[in-house]
Amino acid sequence: MTLTLYKKKRKFNETPEPKAKLKRSLDEHQFVVHKHDASHLHYDLRLEMEGVLKSWAIPKGPSMNPNDKRLAIMVEDHPLDYGKFEGIIPEGNYGAGTVMIWDEGTYQAIDTKEKTENEKALLEGLQKGNLKIILKGKKLNGEFALVKMHLKKGNEWLFIKKKDEYANVKDVLNEDKSIVTKRSLEQIKTQSGKKKESIVSDKITQTNHSKKKAKMKPAY
């Protein structure tokens, strides 16, 4: 559990990304999936554990088809506030590009209910390299597994949908709008322009020379 690498990679006087702060949600564990148009388009799965968002970059994106085994590359921990980030990371910064909140919700380890019990089960699964979870999102629902591959780099996992009532062969990636602002990547890019943009308490706050607040409500 550390945000040292996250902090080292970012220039917070230039990027609108949240600063490195440890915190915990009050109730259920949170998850978010970002769609990130950086040097290569990919999706980032982020799961709350130990006051941070454990993060995996999924090059081909998540799938609701149990036959699909999607490569998930574990990257640095992100702060919990990153789950509310949608906007543009400026050129010259790590992960430069447009970031969308593609899905969000709560999640838990299989066969757990109470939050402390859930946290313990999640960390045990993470350590064993076999994390079995239930996602309760807007686009992703039901049982999933993150399984660590024993390869040279040591950060390669597989993200797999388990067979349940939510499993299907429909391409969930066709649902390509932000779950929060209903914007496409292109709309986020054009509407944000060169302004810094961050999300605080479910609302987008834009800063420019006049420091006006917008009315609307985010790298590997």
pLDDT tens for the 220 residues of the chain, in order: 689 999 999 999 999 999 988 887 778 999 999 999 999 999 999 999 999 999 999 999 999 999 999 999 999 999 999 999 999 999 999 999 999 999 999 999 998 878 889 999 999 999 999 999 999 999 999 999 999 998 888 899 999 999 999 999 999 999 999 999 999 999 999 987 544 455 533 433 333 333 333 333 344 4
Q: What is the DSSP string of 97-143?
A: EEEEEEEEEEEEETT--SHHHHHHHHHHHHHHTEEEEEEEESS-EEE
CB burial of residue 57 (10 Å; 0-12, 13-18, 19+):
buried
The values of phi and psi at residue 192, to 5°, are -80, -35
Contact 56, 72 (CB under 8 A): yes
pTM of the model: 0.86
Beta bridge partners of 49: 52
Say how far apart CA 160 and CA 178 lie, in whole Å: 23
In one-letter notation, the amino acid at residue 53 is: L
d(CA 105, CA 112): 17
How far is Cα 75 from Cα 68, in angstroms, rounded to an integer?
A: 21
User: What are the CA-CA distances from residue 66 to residues 22, 70, 91, 152 (Å)?
Assistant: 34, 10, 37, 26
Other CB atoms closer than 10 Å to residue 12's CB: what's the count?
A: 12
